[in-house]
């Protein structure tokens, strides 16, 4: 459930004050200081909430504790009747309910059902255990402790290990509205990256001269090697974090998300399964990629899955293969002369003609899925022979041992 926090009269002033306090707390956390937020002060029984400095880091599929503890400035108060509430910040003054506890009554909401529970490490512990972390869990969380008329809050930021990748569909560059960019990332096993994630990727060497949507509705792009077509060589014309002769993240600001069109910067995290390259008996057109992977108990890999395998599983293969969106790419961890340049990355051949160009295929096998051909199988024709200018129908292929 998502709710916007607003009030009339004096309540509106309190809402505005809350927003200032939350922003101040986040800034302090980034400087590594212990954050204590006091909403009501001056009373002998005020409740004080403490959360971890900085951020906590996990990965997709992991388990993480969002730390939060509280105590009273007066020792006469007990812990009975205390309401603990966790929410996720989705906008500056909009929150999505995550978890509520009042005495023995506990309730998780939405996608957090079955995954969120209190740590329960003694009196004053309001820490939340989050299991099977998803990409959508990334972001800022608020821990609120309420006892009668007293309440206090603290903020925790959950970050994820992963990789940022630029994306545009077959239709070409600058074709996506904000909503379409969200869908495109989801279809490729990702989410729209945050500005912080893009900036971290730029520090890690990401260089991309096409602007793309980010999750906050802004449009930016990272330039590690300044050049005239990509925002200039530095100076006054280089806007964005780190702008200057050394490059930076160029920032177009917040754009009209229903009318303007750009590419997307997506983010993905750890893979629960495995990506592997499959070289059939003969290279296949795109229409044969799904059957080739299915023969090995897998599906054609998505773009985000290939990027995650390259970044987090160190997949290195100097051979282009089909991906689920119809593009052909290959991952390079150790750059060499004949594999696309001097820098590591996922090389792209764009979107080749699906019927005329022939490649291998990158497949993704989910965890626990059996390989029906562990000895190695390929697709071909029982009568022998090979690809003869498309004269043989891939629909008639049968599994043959390699």
Q: Which residues contact 116 (CB under 8 A, 6 or more apart)?
A: 86, 98, 99, 108, 128, 129, 130, 131
Say what the pLDDT of residue 88 is: 97
Of 238, 268, 298, which marks where a domain is finished? Answer: 268
Instruction: Tell whether the model's pLDDT for residue 391 goes beyond 60.
Output: no
**Total count of residues recorded for the chain:** 402
Is there a single domain that holds both residue 172 and residue 254? yes
Is there a single domain that holds both residue 221 and residue 303? no
Which residue did the predictor score with more confidence, 65 or 26? Answer: 65
Say what the pLDDT of residue 84 is: 95
What percent of the chain lies above the pLDDT cut of 90?
60
Instruction: Tell whether the model's pLDDT for residue 332 goes beyond 50.
Output: yes
User: Can you give the residue range of the structural domain that contains 129?
Assistant: 47-160
Say what the pLDDT of residue 129 is: 97
Read off the pLDDT of residues 43-53 as tens digits, 9 standing for 90 and up: 445 778 888 77
Q: Report yes or no on 384 lying in a domain.
A: no
The pLDDT-based confidence of 79 (bands split at 50, 70, 90) is low
Q: Report yes or no on 36 lying in a domain.
A: no
Q: Which stretches does DSSP call E strand in 40-180?
A: 47-51, 55-58, 64-66, 68-72, 83-91, 94-102, 105-108, 116-118, 128-130, 139-147, 150-160, 162-167
Instruction: Tell whether the model's pLDDT for residue 383 goes beyond 50.
Output: no
Q: Report yes or no on 383 lying in a domain.
A: no
Say what the pLDDT of residue 368 is: 87
Cβ-in-10-Å burial (0-12, 13-18, 19+) of 350 comes to exposed
Is there a single domain that holds both residue 62 and residue 146? yes
Is there a single domain that holds both residue 311 and residue 324? yes
Read off the pLDDT of residues 358-367 as tens digits, 9 standing for 90 and up: 899 999 999 9
Write the CATH number for 84.
Answer: 2.60.40.10
- On average, the pLDDT of the chain sits at 81
The pLDDT-based confidence of 374 (bands split at 50, 70, 90) is low
Nearest to 133 by CA among 55, 186, 190, 62: 62
Say what the pLDDT of residue 151 is: 87
Q: How far is Cα 128 from Cα 99, in angstroms, rounded to an integer?
A: 8
Instruction: Tell whether the model's pLDDT for residue 12 goes beyond 80.
Output: no
Of 268, 301, 331, which marks where a domain is finished? Answer: 268
Say what the pLDDT of residue 75 is: 55
Read off the pLDDT of residues 145-191 as tens digits, 9 standing for 90 and up: 998 778 899 999 999 999 999 999 998 999 999 999 999 999 999 99
Is there a single domain that holds both residue 217 and residue 187? yes
Is there a single domain that holds both residue 140 and residue 91? yes
Read off the pLDDT of residues 259-314 as tens digits, 9 standing for 90 and up: 999 999 999 999 999 999 998 778 889 999 999 999 999 999 999 999 999 999 99
Q: How far is Cα 160 from Cα 173, in angstroms, rounded to an integer?
A: 28
Say what the pLDDT of residue 281 is: 78
Q: Report yes or no on 137 lying in a domain.
A: yes
Write the CATH number for 220.
Answer: 3.10.100.10
Is there a single domain that holds both residue 256 and residue 322? no
Bridge partners of 153?
144
Q: Report yes or no on 177 lying in a domain.
A: yes
Is there a single domain that holds both residue 52 and residue 147? yes
Q: What DSSP state is assigned to residue 17? A: H
Is there a single domain that holds both residue 145 and residue 183? no
What is the mean pLDDT of the segment spanning 10-22? 40
Say what the pLDDT of residue 181 is: 98
Q: How far is Cα 343 from Cα 204, in angstroms, rounded to an integer?
A: 12
Model pTM score: 0.78
Q: Report yes or no on 197 lying in a domain.
A: yes
Number of domains in the chain: 3
Is there a single domain that holds both residue 180 and residue 257? yes
CA end-to-end span of the chain, whole Å?
Answer: 53
Which residue did the predictor score with more confidence, 369 or 9? Answer: 369
Is there a single domain that holds both residue 115 and residue 137? yes
What is the mean pLDDT of the segment spanning 32-47? 42
């Amino acid at each position: 459930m998502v709710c916007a926090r607003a009030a009339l009269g004096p309540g509106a002033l309190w809402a505005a004050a809350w927003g200032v306090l939350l922003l101040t707390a986040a800034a302090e956390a980034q400087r590594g200081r212990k954050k204590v937020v006091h909403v009501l002060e001056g009373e002998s029984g005020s409740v004080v909430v403490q959360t971890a400095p900085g951020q906590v880091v996990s990965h997709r599929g992991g388990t993480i504790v969002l730390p939060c503890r509280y105590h009273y400035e007066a020792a006469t108060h007990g812990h009975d009747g205390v309401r603990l509430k966790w929410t996720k910040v989705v906008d500056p003054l909009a929150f999505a309910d995550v978890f509520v506890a009042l005495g023995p009554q506990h309730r998780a909401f939405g996608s957090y059902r079955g995954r969120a529970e209190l740590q329960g490490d003694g009196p004053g512990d309001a820490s939340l255990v989050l299991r099977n972390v998803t990409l959508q869990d990334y972001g800022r969380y608020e821990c609120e402790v309420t006892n009668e008329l007293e309440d206090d809050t603290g903020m925790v930021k959950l970050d994820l290990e992963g990789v940022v990748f630029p994306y545009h569909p077959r239709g070409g560059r600058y074709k996506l509205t904000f909503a379409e960019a969200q869908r495109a990332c989801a279809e490729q096993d990702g989410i729209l990256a945050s500005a912080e994630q893009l900036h971290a990727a730029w520090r890690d060497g990401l260089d991309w001269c096409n602007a793309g949507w980010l999750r906050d509705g802004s449009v930016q792009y990272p330039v590690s090697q300044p050049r005239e077509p990509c925002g200039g060589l530095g100076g006054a014309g280089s806007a964005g974090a780190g702008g200057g002769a050394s490059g930076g993240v160029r920032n177009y600001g917040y754009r009209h998300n229903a009318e303007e069109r750009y590419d997307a910067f997506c983010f993905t995290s750890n893979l629960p399964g495995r990506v592997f390259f499959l070289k059939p008996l003969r290279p296949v057109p795109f229409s044969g990629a799904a059957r080739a992977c299915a023969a090995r108990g897998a599906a054609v890999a998505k773009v985000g899955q290939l990027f995650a395998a390259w970044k987090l599983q160190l997949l290195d293969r100097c051979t282009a293969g089909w991906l689920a969106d119809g593009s052909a790419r290959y991952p390079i961890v150790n750059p060499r002369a004949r594999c696309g340049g001097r820098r590591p990355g996922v090389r792209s051949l764009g979107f080749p003609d699906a019927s005329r160009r022939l490649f291998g295929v990158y497949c993704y096998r989910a965890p626990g899925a059996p390989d029906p051909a562990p000895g190695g199988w390929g697709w071909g024709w029982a009568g022998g022979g090979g690809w003869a200018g498309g004269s043989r129908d891939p629909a008639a292929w049968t599994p043959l041992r390699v």
